[in-house]
Structure 1
């Protein structure tokens, strides 16, 4: 297998690459469609704003690559904003559309007694604990979150895990070999490494 990590000029790439190293695999950066030659597993990490991520992917002509990759059901992992941008639209960036690969929108946590952004460790409730992506994690594993927005998938059958922070939201989706998480595996210590190992095995 060959791991590609998309570099669109933002995101915590070194942390992602280091965690994959801990999972037993060396990744290389994908900055152009040509860089994906020979890649078997593709990762879209994300730190920052929805609109910035979508626009940078378009400028680097990486949107067709991501679309075709997911349509062909090749192993794909989206992390945080790399999860959110798969949807059609997001409140964070006004009129800037997402990639529209998944139907739904990305909304902000409402003001409440809870702090926004949602930052820290939270358990997630798995919809199918037997799914190989969750192998060895139990029914409610803990992962690390840092976000102010979360996706609302139109197709709830895609939701692989829920998290509750004021509201119950889709902490992860799964469709074929597509995996995308609102939490950060690269910040989630042993369980994060385990999830990346499970992804590599897809």
Structure 2
């Protein structure tokens, strides 16, 4: 059973519907005990880095997520859920992220007439050894909605990259922790395959 973590915002229903579409047992929760008891967990993300950190603190979810990750059970962050795995973001310098990985979250620079936020389909170049992208073509198109991007300091965690005026680390992966800057639940068959891969990892 996969817990979809609800901190009061985020693309919760779309993720839930996508998982149900692929036959995955899942539920939405903001309760620490239910999160920790689940076999896998997903942290979706839409909204402000700082507001999300505040909401997670108020609900007691912040420490639950860190405890869940430390347990070794599979965890997937989506969009803001990826950014929250890092120490901080330029969007909300005063807010402390989960500090699971080392890296910087910065504003996508305005140049070459590119629109910010980055919204739409982009191809990504994936790491062939990635478990999250198992069985997926090397340069699939996936759907992005974001204004801030990751530069991971530990390059071995980067599972996919894309370019939008700057090189963007579009997915990370290490041990039981997976995360994507793009939205698998909005990325058609490729996104559903990614979610199936995560579900298979949860099932062991």
When normalised by structure 1's length, the TM-score is: 0.95
Spell out, residue by residue over 1:86-118, the C-alpha distance to the aligned partner (whole angstroms, 9 max, x if none): 110101113112111111221001111211111
Work out whether residues 130 and 173 of structure 2, in 8 Å CA contact, stay in contact via their aligned partners in 1. Answer: no
Give the Cα–Cα distance (whole angstroms) in 1 for the partners of residues 162 and 145 of structure 2: 13
The answer to whether the aligner puts 1:166 opposite 2:161 as a matched pair is no
- Give the deviation of 1:135 after TM superposition: 2.0
- Give the deviation of 1:37 after TM superposition: 5.0
Give the Cα–Cα distance (whole angstroms) in 1 for the partners of residues 79 and 163 of structure 2: 16
The equivalent residue for 1:122 is 122
- Give the deviation of 1:81 after TM superposition: 0.5
Give the Cα–Cα distance (whole angstroms) in 1 for the partners of residues 149 and 36 of structure 2: 32
* Deviation larger for 22-31 or 7-16: 22-31
The equivalent residue for 1:182 is 181
Spell out, residue by residue over 1:53-79, the C-alpha distance to the aligned partner (whole angstroms, 9 max, x if none): 111111111112111221232100000
- Give the deviation of 1:178 after TM superposition: 0.9
* Deviation larger for 101-110 or 2-11: 101-110
Superposition pairs for residues 35-184 of structure 1, below 5 Å? 35-36=34-35, 38-112=37-111, 113-127=113-127, 129-184=128-183
Work out whether residues 44 and 77 of structure 2, in 8 Å CA contact, stay in contact via their aligned partners in 1. Answer: yes
Give the Cα–Cα distance (whole angstroms) in 2 for the partners of residues 124 and 131 of structure 1: 13
Per the alignment, in what secondary structure is the counterpart of residue 74 of structure 1? coil
In the alignment, structure 1 segments of 5+ residues that lack a partner are: none
Give the Cα–Cα distance (whole angstroms) in 2 for the partners of residues 111 and 196 of structure 1: 32
In the alignment, structure 2 segments of 5+ residues that lack a partner are: none
Work out whether residues 86 and 99 of structure 1, in 8 Å CA contact, stay in contact via their aligned partners in 2. Answer: yes
The equivalent residue for 1:28 is 27
Work out whether residues 123 and 142 of structure 2, in 8 Å CA contact, stay in contact via their aligned partners in 1. Answer: yes
Report the count of equivalent residues: 200
